[in-house]
Each structure stands twice: as structure tokens, then as C-alpha cells.
């Protein structure tokens, strides 16, 4: 038998155009970020994990600057 919480939507993602993205996540319990790493010379990435009561959403952020990614902080929840 499938649990009721297994049927819930974790996130709703909307692409408004090439420059805008909306993510709606209910019951967020924490946001974690990994250690920035260099993907290729001059291209950095970091994993961002948004944890909710019913599941997790993982995003990979990229940047041309390590300093931009180091400014992102995990939540204290």
C-alpha cells in the first residue's frame, strides 16, 4: 500500500522565459549546499539541496566565479 505522503508533490517548477524560473516547495525543513568545485577551468558548480517533509529537490548551480558560489549559505533549520 502506498503511504499518503508518497503521493504528495515535492516541488512545482515553472519556466517563465529564458531568464526566470519559479520553484514552489511547501514544508521546507532545510536547505543544504555542498562544497563548490571546479567543473572545467573557469566554471564552478555547487549542489543545492532543498529538503521538505515529503522529499528533496537538488539543483546544480554553476558560475564563472568561485566567490559568487561561496556567498551562498546553508539554512540553520
Encode pLDDT of 44-75 as tens digits: 999 999 999 989 999 999 999 898 888 776 65
Given this model, what pLDDT does residue 16 score? 82
Q: CA dist 72 to 10, 54, 75, Å?
A: 23, 24, 10
Grid cell digits, residue 58: 537538488
Query: What pTM did the predictor assign?
Result: 0.69
What pLDDT, on a 0 to 100 scale, did the predictor assign at position 13? 85
- Tell me the average pLDDT across 38-44: 94
Amino acid at each position: 500500500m502506498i503511504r499518503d505522503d508518497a503521493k504528495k508533490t515535492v516541488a512545482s517548477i515553472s519556466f517563465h522565459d529564458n531568464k526566470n524560473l519559479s520553484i514552489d516547495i511547501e514544508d521546507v525543513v532545510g536547505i543544504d549546499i555542498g562544497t563548490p568545485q571546479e567543473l572545467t577551468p573557469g566554471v564552478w558548480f555547487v549542489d543545492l539541496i532543498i529538503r521538505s517533509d515529503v522529499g528533496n529537490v537538488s539543483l546544480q548551480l554553476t558560475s564563472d566565479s568561485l566567490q559568487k558560489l561561496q556567498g551562498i549559505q546553508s539554512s540553520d533549520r
